[in-house]
Structure 1
Amino acid sequence: MPKARRPPPRKTYHHGDLRASLIEAGLALAREGGPQAVVLREATRRAGVAPNAAYRHFANHQALFDAVRASALGALALAIEQEMRQAEALPDAPERARALLAAVGRGYLGFAQSETGWFRAAFASGPFDVELPPDPARTGDKGLNPFELLAHALDALVQAGVLPPERRLGAEFLAWSAVHGMALLVIDGPLRRAPQAMRAALGQRLLHMVETGL
């Protein structure tokens, strides 16, 4: 799948956008080496400023990392939405709803493999995202974060009569845990060296299993 849309890091910054430049530098570091690579001093070096300049916008390393993490979640949301577009054009409501749920899973698994550093940063230890106030940085074009996109797909299943309403409560966590587990097996576990065709086939079977199980 194509790289998720996020701006490349700048080597210098213009007056007034140092915060954005530092986030871009942090995203570049995360893309290269995951969450542990997001170091405040290195981000300021890449942004072309002295380390102390970062404290005008970020109180500490964690504040910068939280901003990078939010942007990584936004990139994941964009990747999911890209997969959802074809499903959204289907005329039959039940078929469209099933395709939307599968698209969320494909976007998630594809992002984990194509943007592994950002994926790891997005789900590094931090606050419980479901309970945080809305943050545009964590969303895609629809204004929804990845968790909300999954909820949107599950709601569509209910509206189309595919998923019984009484089985809807908590379904996000069941679907999410299954697909996230597969993502970790692929990027960090025993499937990391499996042929791409095998990983793709297992992903498709998993998504079908999730829908059937729900």
Structure 2
Amino acid sequence: MESITGGKSRYHHGDLRNALIEAAVGLAVEGGPERVVLREAARSVGVSPTAAYRHFTGQGDLLEAVKIRGQQALADSMTEAVRVLPGLDDPGEEAVRRTEAIGRGYVRFAIEHPGLYRTAFCRTPLAEGSGFTGLDAPEDRPEFAAFVQLSDTLDTLVAAGRMRPENRPAAEVAAWSAVHGLSLLILDGPLAHLPADQRDAVVERTLTTIVAGLTR
């Protein structure tokens, strides 16, 4: 888990705010958003709660920072899934494979890092004022990187001629809902009991069905 949490170590000097966030990410990995406690993060890096409160106004502030890290890690998983794809000469087919890949990276992140995944989608007081409606996300905000990546990928499908322009509006919501719902069924629903090979087959079948719907 070091690739996400950065490992656990006591704080010595430098950027205390970042050290507290890293510790809190580790807590989220262990037990989801409920485990993200400012005092616990302070204890983990070896500073007093008073020192921690100099960098965070309270629990919600820290949780929002961890939520953003979780969203960034989710986007990284999606990016990596695309990166390992073989190159194709057909732009349309490449766009299809890319769309399937980002869904694969999304679900894989949920399976491998369930605590951080749940934290990435938890509700926080700061998130309530973000202005994000689920349709248009600011491209310069890291907490929306995964959504922007999905939107860009769907635009590529249209540009490559594999998706009709009239089907594009709000298509990211349909695709997002499908992979998010699948992820939760795997984490907390009956699909949690599937053997890994059957689970992976369900994931692939779902992704091909999603893309088939987008490109019909």
Whether TM exceeds 0.5 here: the answer is: yes
Deviation at 1:50, TM superposition (A): 0.4
Offset, 1:5: 4.2
* Structure 1 residue 9 displacement after superposition: 3.0
Matched to 2:141, the amino acid is D
- Secondary structure of 2:57's counterpart equals coil
Residues 89, 202 of structure 1: CA spacing in aligned structure 2 closer, same or farther, 3 A cutoff?
Answer: same
- Over the matched positions of the two proteins, sequence identity in percent amounts to 42
Shift of 1:87: 3.5
Q: In 2, are the aligned partners of 1:70 and 1:122 still within 8 Å (CA)?
A: yes
Instruction: Count matched residues.
Output: 206
CA distance in 1, matches of 2:2, 2:153: 23
Give 2:24's aligned residue.
Answer: 26
Shift of 1:212: 1.2
Q: What's the counterpart of residue 199 of structure 1? A: 199
**Residue 141 of structure 2 corresponds to residue 135 of structure 1:** yes
Query: Is 1:100 aligned with 2:98?
Result: yes
Q: Deviations over 1:27-75 (max 9, x none)?
A: 0000000110001110000011000111111101100000011001111
Measured in 2, the distance between the counterparts of 1:120 and 1:177 equals 15
Contact kept, 8 Å, 2:5 with 2:23, in 1: the verdict is: no
CA distance in 2, matches of 1:130, 1:172: 17
Question: Which consecutive residues of structure 1, in runs of 5 or more, have no partner in the other structure?
Answer: 139-143
Q: Distance in 2 between matches of 1:44 and 1:3?
A: 19
**Preserved CA contact (<8 Å) 2:10 2:44:** yes
What pairs up with 1:55-74 in 2 under 5 angstroms? 55-74=53-72
Residue equivalent to 1:173: 173
Secondary structure, aligned partner of 2:204: helix
Change in 2 beyond 3 A, CA 1:90/1:5 = farther
- Counterpart of 1:153 in structure 2 is 153
Q: Letter of the 1:182 partner, please give it.
A: L
Task: Give me the whole-angstrom Cα distance separating, in 2, the residues matched to 1:130 and 1:114.
Answer: 30
| Partner-residue secondary structure (3-state), 1:191 | helix
Q: What displacement does 1:4 show? A: 5.2
1:115-136 deviations in whole A, cap 9, x for unaligned?
A: 1111000011242667275334
Uncovered stretches (5+) of structure 2, i.e. residues with no partner: none
Map of 2:162 onto structure 1: 162
- Give the ranges of 4+ consecutive aligned residues of structure 1 lying more than 6 Å apart after TM superposition: none
Aligned partner of 1:135: which letter?
R
**Residue aligned with 1:87, SS:** coil
User: Which letter does structure 2 place at the counterpart of 1:14?
Assistant: H
Q: Is 2:110 aligned against 1:112?
A: yes
RMSD of aligned C-alpha atoms? 1.9
The alpha carbon displacement at 1:3 in A equals 7.5
> What letter corresponds to residue 148 of structure 2 in structure 1?
E
Change (3 A) 1:61 1:51: same
Q: TM-score scaled by structure 2?
A: 0.89
TM-score normalised by the chain length of structure 1:
0.90
Matched, 1:37 2:35: yes
The CA deviation at 1:174 is 0.2
